[in-house]
Amino acid sequence: MGIRPLPRVVLLLVAVAALAFVATGCGREDDDDGADVANAGNTTGETLSGRVVSDGSSTVGPLTTAAAERFSEQQPGVNVEVGISGTGGGFERFCAGETDISNASRAIDEEEEVPLCEENGVEFTELQVAVDALTVVVNPENDWADCLTVDQLATMWGPDSEGEVTNWNQVDPSFPDQPLALAGPGTDSGTFDYFTDAVNGEEGASRSDYTASEDDNVIVQAVQGDPGASGYFGLSYYLENEDTLKAVEIENEAGECVAPSAETAQAGDYNPLARPLYVYVKNESLQRPEVQEFMRFYLENVDDIAVDALYIPPPAEVQEESQATLEDAIGS
């Protein structure tokens, strides 16, 4: 069994012809709203140029891409590049000084990645840009797995299950005699790190006989194509494919079956699979105007950017804290 995940960039295609047609009259109100968003965050008023390089999480990458697309309307001379090599791969490049921004679906590792950054003289600032509800999905033909416990997930994904748990009736005797096929993130993924820690009790502890990919779309396709398949990835990938996938409710710490959603993640009910999403910015890069303004724009418009790209915005107090942290880093 095997498959690997990547990202999905959510592009809201606004009817360009229609916008042109209603440039005056009834369409003006919408145009003004768009202009307000495009101009928000432009604290200098100057035209900028340059290159901002980011890499990392396939979960956070599409959110940063959405921010970059909006920012380009304000500053077309700034090229924001978004690579997707997984959270671990992104931190490796970031701590080597190769990128300005590292997109991460988990916090930076204090034992391995922070010392690597220190060794290379890379000082950084952590900023939370979203909340995610890590979503377990099954094929729509699956009419038995409506709610799974963490113990059942561990039975499916634990390292001791490799080559042993191959049928749904081994996960629960009430489930049918149906071959179990699994697809999920690869080992460089922050989603993999978070899931294995939350479900199996140890980061990186997982069976390896599954379709692994850094491309979440590969996971989507694997589950879509097999009635007995299951996989996991960020909520936005599910929302983009909810017509062809079924999200499984997860039994939380209170013993309640809870579906993944923006509301349940922000409220803390969707535990233990709700998590923060981050970007890490190199402090040296923050001394360049194009990086400063991109990050200001990103944080000041994160509500609109997140909603448009099917992500969950951080709570208001987290947004305020991130903006203050950014300004402190710029001024330091």
- Which pLDDT tens digit goes with each residue over 220-251? 999 999 999 999 999 999 999 999 999 999 99
CATH fold of 135-267: D-Maltodextrin-Binding Protein; domain 2 (3.40.190)
Q: Which percentage of the chain shows pLDDT scores above 70?
A: 86
The Cα–Cα gap between 204 and 87 comes to 13
Work out the mean pLDDT of the chain and round it to a whole number.
Answer: 88
Q: Give the pLDDT confidence score for residue 128 in this predicted structure.
A: 97
Instruction: Read off the pLDDT band of 64 (50, 70, 90).
Output: very high
Q: Give 46-132+275-331's CATH code, choosing from 3.40.462.40, 3.40.50.720, 3.90.1150.10, 3.40.190.10.
A: 3.40.190.10
Q: Give the pLDDT confidence score for residue 212 in this predicted structure.
A: 96
Helices then strands, each counted (H, E), the chain: 14, 13
Every domain range in the chain assigned CATH 3.40.190.10: 46-132+275-331, 135-267
pTM of the model: 0.75
Nearest to 102 by CA among 120, 121, 85: 85
Cβ neighbours of residue 114 closer than 8 Å, sequence gap 6 or more: 108
